Amino acid sequence: MILTSKRILMGNEAIAFGAMKAGLQVASGYPGTPSTEVMETIASHASKYGIYAEWATNEKVALETAVGAAYSGANTLVTMKQVGLNVASDPLMSLSYIGVKGSLVILVSDDPGPHSSQTEQDTRAFGHFSNIPVLDPSTPQEAYDMAKLAFRLSHEMEIPVILRTTTRVSHGCADVVTEDIEPAGRDIEGYVKEPRWTIFPKLTAQRHPWLEDLQIRISDRFSDHFSENTFNSISKGNSKIGIASSGVSSLYTNEATNKQTGTFSHFKLATVHPFPEKAALEFLSDITDLIVIEELDPYLEEQFLQLIGRHHLDVNVYGKKNGHFPVSGEYDVDVVIEGVNSSLQSMNAEVPLLTHSTPVVARENIPSLPVRPPTFCAGCMHRTVFYAFKKAAAKLKKENGKGTVFSGDIGCYTLGNAQPLNMVDTCLCMGAGISMAAGLSHTQQYQEGNYAKQVAFIGDSTFFHSGIAAMISAVYNNADITLAVLDNRTTAMTGHQPHPGIGLTAMGNPTKAIDIAEVLRSCGVDLVETIEADDLGKCIETAKMAIEYEGPSAVVFKGKCVGITKATGQYVIDEEKCTGCNFCVSQLGCPAIFSMSSGIPQIQDNCTGCSLCAQVCPSDAIDLREVLQ
């Protein structure tokens, strides 16, 4: 008997439990919002269920690690966010030709909006590109159930399967029915030598027809929605208008149309790639107009358009391509109502339009409110380092008239772009700050002496992710750059995961800690300094020295993320001494300090006692009030 229990789970936790129920044995990933909690949940249950779980240095490494284990017959999972899949795309594209033994599920979280990503890219398109099946759950419960389906499918078809979620599934919580998990154990066949595991042009040519044939077989299987639970469903309406949707958009569709239940036929797709053509054709046979509702790319819309064209069907399609639905941004019930109404008006349907609820105050009637852009936390060490480089660069500019370009990177420190620091001149993707600084240093403008030096900032986890190769390339190619490593002893942005510099694995076991300064020295950087980030004067001095050094230089700034440490005290403004110059506010942008247009600044409860404001105050008017225990 399978024992079940109902509990509140975040979608990511539900996926972890689904994977563990499916017999997961090896898991690897790199943290990235909104995917991170899948691996965190597995790591915290790993020893209990006999699973091996790790944080890899990047997504390519994570995938390759899982592939190795899968070749040995293990049930494996690899986790990442949508931009992480770009990093892992090299092994992925080859892997689809080769396939796997055991099972391999790739959890990729997309971020429509985007809330915390560089792009709004759609992993369904990556499935199409790489010929890998994609499952698209709409709720945490489906995420749990479809994680199990993904492992089953991967094992049976001998191909990796992508389980793709979006933010509202990954980071939404819901009541989820889960089953008791038996420890999986490490009982696997083991690696068996076969030519099949070594990719060569000849093998690729042999495997390609298999891969293409597999697409048709899986499409047929996904179409078979009545005999097997594929999570696809078709409900018939009493009009000739149909709606097709996938993922969380299916729920928005249900809610948007719930006052007209029975009007529209609804095809909810959960197995989105390979497109279940037979089921789609059956759905299209009863309708004259099709509204496609999906976030991100018009993936389903294109699949339907192709199918309709190929079969010469007389069905009009309404979606992103003809402007009825937005092509970017996150959807919700209101967006869906607007899109459906626009479609209905366009088709002159004799169906009443959908209605919005009436808010007590319309959004446009809300008076102007203070904006609250995300910024460094109060007490964050990054603020000190960025401010130090700002001061050092200003001094150099004064001395020799040369400017400095600051290349940022991906992590908490991307927020160095916020006013008043304004210290991120370029930011592209992880590791790019170093390579871009190198590229900038090889331009004529720099060679002609208009710039002092190219400065790149990178965090500790990102340094291990993709900073090392960039630094080696920069040194090898004589790029004149200064690297500032912002080492706050954790992967802060995604929720404080350990990394190779910490000396602790994902499962909490002690391991060898890799010293970033030593890595930099062995990369050929001649000037490498390591300093604590709490003394502003020393930080400015060191920054200036590193910039002035001829050739590649690096400074590792060490501090501790305030997200995982306790406040050391609180500062207060001495009203007697304060001249109201507002220097502390205008220079630092610390969220603990504010000032009204009249009066002296004040320090709020979130002060952690970092002392930076006291160090910059020209009147010595900021004092430590109490040292908290």
Partner 1 sequence: MKFDILIAGVGGQGVVLASRLLATAAIDAGYHVATAETIGMAQREGSVTSHVRIGDEVCGSLIPAGNADLIIGLEPAEAARNIHFLSKDGSIVVNEHAVIPSASANNAEYIPEHVIEFLKENCQETINVDFTQLAKEAGTYRATNVAMLAAAAGADLLPFNPEELWSVLEKMVPEKYRELNRKAFDMSLERVSGMKDPEKQEQVQVQAMDT
Using CB under 8 A, list all residues that contact partner 1. Answer: 6-8, 33-34, 115-116, 139, 141, 168, 171-175, 248, 251-252, 254-255, 332-334, 337, 356-363, 366-378, 412, 414-415, 419-420, 493-495, 582, 585-586, 588-597, 601, 604-606
- C-beta closer to partner 1: residue 447 or 586: 586
Structural tokens at position 160: 């990796």
Cross-strand bridge partners of residue 265: 242
Nearest-5° Cα angle at 391, 390 to 392? 95
Shortest reach from residue 373's CB to partner 1, in Å: 6
Structural tokens at position 275: 């497109």
- C-beta closer to partner 1: residue 69 or 337: 337
Shortest reach from residue 621's CB to partner 1, in Å: 17
Could you give the CA distance from residue 592 to residue 407 in angstroms, rounded to a whole number? 27
Query: What is the number of alpha carbons within 13 Å of residue 340 lying toward its C-beta?
Result: 32
- C-beta closer to partner 1: residue 332 or 548: 332
- C-beta closer to partner 1: residue 64 or 142: 142
Could you give the CA distance from residue 174 to residue 181 in angstroms, rounded to a whole number? 20
- C-beta closer to partner 1: residue 169 or 479: 169
Peptide bond into 498 cis (omega under 30): no
- C-beta closer to partner 1: residue 375 or 619: 375
- For residues 102 and 73, the answer to whether their CB atoms sit within 8 Å is yes
Shortest reach from residue 623's CB to partner 1, in Å: 20
For tokens 């001249």, the residue is 579
Alpha-carbon distance values, 575 to 41, 579, 588 (Å): 49, 8, 20
Structural tokens at position 451: 């710039």
- For residues 290 and 244, the answer to whether their CB atoms sit within 8 Å is yes
Q: Which residues contact 348 (CB under 8 A, 6 or more apart)?
A: none
DSSP letter for 259, please: G
Shortest reach from residue 168's CB to partner 1, in Å: 5
Q: Compute the Cα dihedral for 457, 463, 468, 469 and give only its sign.
A: negative
DSSP letter for 26, please: E
42-80 burial code (b ≥16 CB/10 A, e <16): bbebbeebebbbbbbbbbbbbbbbbbebbbbbbbbbbbb
- Type of residue numbered 378: A
Shortest reach from residue 602's CB to partner 1, in Å: 8
- C-beta closer to partner 1: residue 33 or 611: 33
- C-beta closer to partner 1: residue 11 or 431: 11
- C-beta closer to partner 1: residue 274 or 601: 601
Shortest reach from residue 291's CB to partner 1, in Å: 17
Shortest reach from residue 191's CB to partner 1, in Å: 38
Distance separating the N- and C-terminal Cα atoms of the chain: 51
Could you give the CA distance from residue 408 to residue 406 in angstroms, rounded to a whole number? 6
- C-beta closer to partner 1: residue 306 or 582: 582
Structural tokens at position 241: 């208008």
Shortest reach from residue 310's CB to partner 1, in Å: 33
Alpha-carbon distance values, 68 to 18, 75, 125, 192, 453 (Å): 22, 11, 25, 12, 43
Shortest reach from residue 413's CB to partner 1, in Å: 11
Shortest reach from residue 225's CB to partner 1, in Å: 19
Nearest-5° Cα angle at 80, 35 to 14? 40
Could you give the CA distance from residue 57 to residue 194 in angstroms, rounded to a whole number? 29
- C-beta closer to partner 1: residue 492 or 520: 492
- C-beta closer to partner 1: residue 2 or 371: 371
Backbone angles phi, psi at 61, to 5 degrees: -65, -40
Shortest reach from residue 353's CB to partner 1, in Å: 15
Shortest reach from residue 309's CB to partner 1, in Å: 32
Shortest reach from residue 573's CB to partner 1, in Å: 14
**Quick one: three-class SS letters along 552-596?**
CEEEEEECCCCCCCCCCCEEEECCCCCCCCCHHHHHHCCCCEECC
- C-beta closer to partner 1: residue 494 or 542: 494
